[in-house]
Structure 1
Amino acid sequence: MTSEKQMSLDVSSSHRHEDGSVALPKIGSTPSPSCQYKEGTFSAYEDEIVNELDFRQIEDTETSGNLPVIDRPQFALLVMLYLIQGVPIGLAFGTIPFLLKGSNLSFSQVGVFSLASYPYSLKLLWSPIVDSLYFKNIGRRRSWIIPVQAVSGLMLLFLSTQVDALFLDLEANLYRLTIVFFILILLCATQDIAVDGWALTILSPSALSYASTAQTIGLNTGYFMSFTIFLAFNSPDFANKYFRKVPSDVGPITLSGYLYFFGWIFLSVTVFLWFKVPEQPAHLRHVSKKHDEEEAIEMYDLNAAPGTSMTSPFRDLEPSSTFESLVSVYKKMIRVLQLPNVKLFVVLHLISKIGFQVNDGATNLKLLEKGFTKEDLAIAVLIDFPFELVFGYYTARWSAGEEPLKPWRYGYIGRLIAAMLGQLLVWSFPSGGVTTPYFFAVISQHLLGSFMSTVQFVSICAFHTQIADPTIGGTYMTTLNTLANLGGQWPKIIVFTLIDKFTKAKCILPATVKEPTLSQLGNTCANAHTKELCQSVGGKCQIITDGYFATNVLCIAIGFLLYFGWIKRTANHLQSLPSTAWRVHQD
Structure 2
Amino acid sequence: MASGKNLARHDLPQFYLLVALYFVQGIPVGLAFGTIPFLLKSMSKTMSFTSLGLFSMATYPYSLKILWSPIVDSCYNSRIGRRRSWIIPIQLLSGIMLYILGYNVSNGTVFPGVDNDSVGVPGESDLLSLTMLFGTLVFLCATQDIAVDGWALTILSRDSLSYASTAQTVGLNIGYFLSFTIFLSLNSADFTNKYLRSNDLPYGLITLGGYLKFAGIVYLIVTGYVAFCVTEHPGRSHYIKGKLYQRGSTLPSSTKEMNAPQYNDDEDEEEESTKSIRYIYGRFWEVLKLPAVQTLVGVHLVSKIAFQCNEAATNLKLLEKGFKREDLAVSVLIDVPFEIIFGYYVAKWSSDNNNNNNDKLDKEQDVTNSIHGTILRETQFKKMSFLKKLQIILFGNNTGVLTPWLYGFLGILFAAILGSFVVAMFPNTGIVTKPYFIMIIIQHLMGSFMNTVQFVGISAFHTRVADPLLGGTYMTLLNTVSNFGGTWPRIIIMYLINWFTIYQCSDGTIVRGTPEQCPLNTTTTTTTDTILIRDGYYITNLICVIMGIFIYIMVIRPNAQRLQQLPLSSWRCS
- TM-score, normalization by structure 2: 0.74
Contact map agreement 2:303 2:548 (CA 8 A) in 1:
yes
Q: 1:376 aligns with which of 319, 327, 339?
A: 327
Whichever residue aligns with residue 214 of structure 2, its letter is: F
Contact map agreement 1:506 1:525 (CA 8 A) in 2:
no
Contact map agreement 2:515 2:527 (CA 8 A) in 1:
no
1:59-93 deviation digits (Å, cap 9, x = unpaired):
8x99897568xx75x77665544433322121112
Q: 1:97 aligns with which of 34, 37, 57?
A: 37
Q: 2:51 aligns with which of 86, 106, 109?
A: 109
The 3 A distance-change label for structure 1 pair 287 and 527 is: farther
Contact map agreement 2:99 2:213 (CA 8 A) in 1:
yes
Counterpart residue number, 1:562: 551
Q: Secondary structure at the match of 1:134?
A: coil
Q: Secondary structure at the match of 1:494?
A: helix
Whichever residue aligns with residue 489 of structure 1, its letter is: T
1:86-111 deviation digits (Å, cap 9, x = unpaired):
22121112211111221232111111
Following superposition of structure 1 onto structure 2, how do residues 178-577 of structure 1 map, counting pairs within 5 Å? Answer: 178-198=131-151, 215-270=168-223, 274=227, 306=264, 325-399=276-350, 400=353, 401-402=356-357, 403-404=399-400, 405-432=402-429, 433-464=431-462, 475-508=473-506, 526=514, 537=525, 539-540=527-528, 541-575=530-564
The 3 A distance-change label for structure 1 pair 153 and 536 is: farther
The 3 A distance-change label for structure 1 pair 577 and 136 is: closer
Whichever residue aligns with residue 261 of structure 1, its letter is: F
- Say if 2:127 is the partner of 1:174: yes
Q: Secondary structure at the match of 1:131?
A: helix
- Say if 2:71 is the partner of 1:129: yes
Whichever residue aligns with residue 364 of structure 1, its letter is: N
Residues 567-576 or 528-537, more deviating: 528-537
Whichever residue aligns with residue 350 of structure 1, its letter is: L
Distance of 1:344 and 1:76 partners within structure 2: 34
Q: Which runs of 5+ in 2 are unaligned?
A: 113-120, 239-243, 250-262, 358-398
Q: Which runs of 5+ in 1 are unaligned?
A: 1-54, 292-304, 312-317, 510-517
Counterpart residue number, 2:395: none
1:305-360 deviation digits (Å, cap 9, x = unpaired):
8488999xxxxxx886666x322222222122223343233222211221221112
Contact map agreement 2:181 2:329 (CA 8 A) in 1:
yes
Distance of 1:378 and 1:555 partners within structure 2: 26
Distance of 2:37 and 2:161 partners within structure 1: 36
Distance of 2:73 and 2:427 partners within structure 1: 53
Deviation, 1:234, is: 0.6
Deviation, 1:380, is: 1.6
Whichever residue aligns with residue 185 of structure 1, its letter is: V
Q: 2:94 aligns with which of 110, 128, 152?
A: 152
Distance of 2:54 and 2:442 partners within structure 1: 30
Q: What is the aligned residue count?
A: 496
Deviation, 1:242, is: 2.0
Deviation, 1:287, is: 9.8
Contact map agreement 1:333 1:475 (CA 8 A) in 2:
yes
The 3 A distance-change label for structure 1 pair 272 and 454 is: closer
Contact map agreement 1:90 1:222 (CA 8 A) in 2:
yes
Contact map agreement 2:174 2:336 (CA 8 A) in 1:
no
Distance of 1:387 and 1:109 partners within structure 2: 32
Distance of 2:444 and 2:459 partners within structure 1: 22
Contact map agreement 2:287 2:573 (CA 8 A) in 1:
yes
Q: Secondary structure at the match of 1:544?
A: strand
Residues 347-356 or 561-570, more deviating: 561-570
Distance of 1:388 and 1:447 partners within structure 2: 9
Whichever residue aligns with residue 423 of structure 2, its letter is: V
Counterpart residue number, 1:37: none
The 3 A distance-change label for structure 1 pair 221 and 580 is: closer
Distance of 2:404 and 2:536 partners within structure 1: 32
Q: Secondary structure at the match of 1:247?
A: coil
Q: Secondary structure at the match of 2:305?
A: coil
Residues 151-160 or 93-102, more deviating: 151-160
Contact map agreement 1:396 1:459 (CA 8 A) in 2:
yes
Distance of 1:150 and 1:231 partners within structure 2: 26
The 3 A distance-change label for structure 1 pair 415 and 77 is: closer
The 3 A distance-change label for structure 1 pair 275 and 64 is: closer
Distance of 1:200 and 1:310 partners within structure 2: 12
Whichever residue aligns with residue 526 of structure 1, its letter is: T
Deviation, 1:544, is: 2.0
Distance of 2:445 and 2:551 partners within structure 1: 25
Whichever residue aligns with residue 108 of structure 1, its letter is: T
Residues 558-567 or 330-339, more deviating: 558-567
Distance of 1:143 and 1:171 partners within structure 2: 38
Q: Percent identity?
A: 52
Q: Secondary structure at the match of 2:172?
A: helix
Deviation, 1:173, is: 1.3
Deviation, 1:584, is: 3.6
Deviation, 1:209, is: 8.3
Q: Secondary structure at the match of 1:429?
A: coil
Distance of 2:511 and 2:178 partners within structure 1: 40
Distance of 1:204 and 1:507 partners within structure 2: 64
Contact map agreement 2:153 2:264 (CA 8 A) in 1:
no
Deviation, 1:567, is: 3.8
- After superposition, the CA RMSD in angstroms is 4.1
The 3 A distance-change label for structure 1 pair 542 and 534 is: farther
Distance of 1:309 and 1:148 partners within structure 2: 22
Distance of 1:341 and 1:278 partners within structure 2: 35
The 3 A distance-change label for structure 1 pair 535 and 263 is: farther
